[in-house]
Chains A and B, each alone.
Chain A
Amino acid sequence: MNKILLIIRREYLSRVKKKSFIIMTFLTPLLIAGIYGLIGYFTYKGIKDTHDKVAVVNNNKILIEKLVSDKNIKYEYVTQSLEEMKKSFKKGDYDYVLYLPNFTLQAPDSIQLFGAKQAGLSLNRRISGDIEELIRNQKLKESGIAQSDLDKLKTSVDISVKKIAETGQEQDSSAGASTIIAFIAGILMFMFIMLYGIQVMRGVIEEKTSRIIEVMISSVKPFQLMMGKIIGIAMVGLTQFILWIVLTLTISTVAVSFFTNKDDIKKSVAVSQAGQGVAQLSQGTPAASAMQGPMADIQKSLAGLDIAKIVTVFIFFFLGGYLFYSALYAAIGSAVDSETETQQFMMPVMMPLLLGYALSLSVVTNDPYGPIAFWLSMIPFTSPIAMVVRLPYGVPNWELALSMLILVVGFIGTVWVAGRIYRVGILMYGKKTTFKEMFKWFTYKA
């Protein structure tokens, strides 16, 4: 037992002391914060800047009502013909020219949009939506409904999603917040298992190619060496994960307090001064207030999520999934002489993980309670990712417990299988290993 601790210690310290680890650990939260800042900045900027000016050439005799401009799009009806507009277009008063030919309401076709740049999908949708509404209103009017009645028809609906907890209490929840948490957790889980699983494999190959392995296993049992390595690297992963959480929280707290202070000062000096940066989101510009709706929603339902539970379950499934996969990676590492030979073995190990990742982020987020989500979160090959993705939507406790149990049984199984392959593989040199051979090793007596 003492020996395993020594191995864990070496595997842990030799990695944590590395420059690349320190850089990765401290840089990543900054990077994440930076990326979120950029996303926020560009979303904000995007909202402010999409102010397309569209010249409308209306040859239609029926559509008398005009398209309505708002903060994102400005329609201007011009009297010139389409040909004239096309010729004078280069002067650049307008971004696009919309041509409405004289169609009947039953068959509105040949509508054209000209522009120096290709109109984006959202703009296209926006304009066709506006025209559709115009046509619909026109049709309704023709069937004898007054404008005032039309206005009354419009109602805005905002569904407040509540989940009934097992105790019968209502909880605020938002599909948005759950989905964001699910995505982040799923991606993190996939990354962690991949990164650290491959580190285990590299470590095994390193010991094999540097030939230290024979010295090592004259002192310790192969199984001790394998487990020491796996556990040591798991602790490196945990350290990194915890540091990331702590650092991200620290950075965002500092940033938030910094920006709020600045905002207060700004407000007292000049209220509506435009500037750059994420902080402006919280100021009273129209774009920001448009953002505030969903943001506030998400914040409200974030409070409804049990973050402590999510983090605990995440750590459990990270450890379980990592142990499950890293044992397989260790077996692969033991069977080859160099990293270039690992390809053929990596595929079958990677496939279920990738599949779990892809399905979790598509099928499971769409239908977190469906049969596919259920089975993905039970099968240990995919459960670490699928379960943390399902978790923010709420998972019955018995399912969680069952999935955990299966995962524990699963990793005991893979560790056992890998151990048997490992003890033979690490002493084999110069042969190209096949799956058949690995199976033979597995059946060898101790």
Chain B
Amino acid sequence: MLSVKNIVKQYATHRALDNVSLEVESGKIFGLLGPNGAGKTSLIRIITQITAPDSGEVIFNGKRLNSDHISQIGYLPEERGLYKKMEIGEQILYLSKLKGLSTAEATKRIKFWFEKLEMKDWWSKKVEDLSKGMQQKVQFVATILHQPELIILDEPFSGFDPVNANIIKNEILELNKQGATFIFSTHRMESVEELCDHIALIHQSKKILDGSVDEIKGTYRNNTYWIEYEGDYNTNSANGIFEVLQTEQVKGKTLIKVQLQPDKTANEVLSLLLPHVSISRLDEVIPTMNDIFIDKVKGQDHE
């Protein structure tokens, strides 16, 4: 539904985005990752039409991005903010009317969400009287109230306590089920693994990784396993099948990390070991998104 094509954004001396292209599919949760200052916010600001790219284009539902699309996009910036002196109900109403909702419809929906997120008597409270976490909730409601097709969340969980973070996560999943597409910008990798279908990694203004979470993890598997066993086995005799990377003794058991030769499988390892020891555990080492992130970013820095 959203294609970002060859975007270049240049600030005076600094190139914030260097020929970045992305494809966000409808109904998916898309993770936009990258270290601080990589260019994520610049890209989001282009998608939300806050700034315009120097070259390249953004296509939204087959059309070049234009001001009609404002009502179809919801944006929760990393730096949250509301009018401090305004009543909360008024505030959300104002923000959603700017997105094109009618007063009646917006009021109805605000009441619905207030009910759902346990904010019932918040309407005439002022923002300055709320805690930071409560303000986040208000801002989240303001972001999604106009039922946008595309919801862009920049670090959505920062500032939430675990209980509220969970509530928001469930709301995101539910909205996603109803068909909303999400773009997530974050560097909290656990939430990426939990939520995202697809990710793109931006580093130093360039996209350096792009693909579905499963695919990426797949390519980062390198045939490494943890094996835990009881008994004695001379690992030197395993040459040709695997190589031991690490050995540990834990409570009378032995834990080894092995890397298999490219054409070998875990079954072969087992058949080699079974006659000698009793095996209590075998795990494939799957890199976490965190590992991939660090690996990729560091790798890039060394080049």
Contact = CB atoms under 8 A, between A and B. Distances in A.
Interface of A: 3, 6-7, 10, 14, 206-207, 210-221, 427, 440, 445-446
Given A214-B75, A218-B49, 11 more contacts: A6-B94, A7-B98, A14-B83, A207-B83, A210-B83, A210-B84, A211-B79, A218-B70, A221-B67, A427-B50, A446-B52
A440 B73 CA distance: 31
Interface of B: 12, 45, 48-52, 54, 67, 70, 73, 75, 77, 79-86, 94-95, 97-99, 139, 142
Nearest to B84: A210
**Which residue, of A14, A210, A219, A445, has the highest number of chain B Cβ atoms within 10 A?**
A219
Contacts of A212: 81-83
Contacts of A219: 70, 95, 98-99
Contacts of A14: 83, 85-86
A214 B94 contact: no
Given A3-B98, A6-B97, A211-B80, A218 B75 contact: yes
A399 B259 CA distance: 91
Contacts of A218: 48-50, 70, 73, 75, 77
B81 A213 contact: yes
Contacts of B80: 211
Nearest to B11: A444
B98 A211 contact: no
Main secondary structure of the interface of A (DSSP, over half): helix
B12 A440 contact: yes
26 contacts: A7-B98, A206-B83, A207-B83, A210-B81, A212-B81, A212-B83, A213-B81, A214-B50, A214-B79, A214-B81, A215-B75, A215-B77, A215-B81, A215-B82, A215-B139, A215-B142, A216-B98, A218-B49, A218-B70, A218-B75, A218-B77, A219-B95, A219-B99, A220-B98, A221-B67, A445-B54
B294 to A, nearest CB: 27
Given A14-B85, A214-B50, A6 B98 contact: yes
Given A215-B75, A218-B48, A440-B12, A10 B94 contact: yes
A221 B77 CA distance: 17
**Which residue, of B50, B52, B67, B94, has the highest number of chain A Cβ atoms within 10 A?**
B50
A215 B49 contact: no
Contacts of B94: 6, 10
B103 to A, nearest CB: 10
Nearest to B142: A215
Contacts of B84: 206, 210
Contacts of A440: 12
Nearest to A214: B77
**Which residue, of A6, A214, A440, has the highest number of chain B Cβ atoms within 10 A?**
A214
Given A14-B86, A427-B50, A211 B77 contact: yes
Contacts of A211: 77, 79-81
A440 B12 CA distance: 9
Nearest to B83: A212
Contacts of B139: 215
B282 to A, nearest CB: 50
A445 B99 CA distance: 26
Given A215-B142, A218-B49, A218-B75, A210 B82 contact: yes
Contacts of A210: 81-84
Contacts of A7: 98
Nearest to B94: A10
A445 B11 CA distance: 11
A299 B80 CA distance: 59
**Which residue, of B51, B81, B84, has the highest number of chain A Cβ atoms within 10 A?**
B81
A220 B142 CA distance: 15
A165 to B, nearest CB: 52
Nearest to A209: B81
Contact of A215 (B45, B51, B95, B97): B95
Nearest to B70: A219
A233 B36 CA distance: 38
Shortest beta-carbon contacts, A-B, top 8: A211-B81, A212-B81, A214-B77, A218-B48, A219-B98, A211-B79, A218-B75, A210-B81
A34 B235 CA distance: 102
A221 B82 CA distance: 18
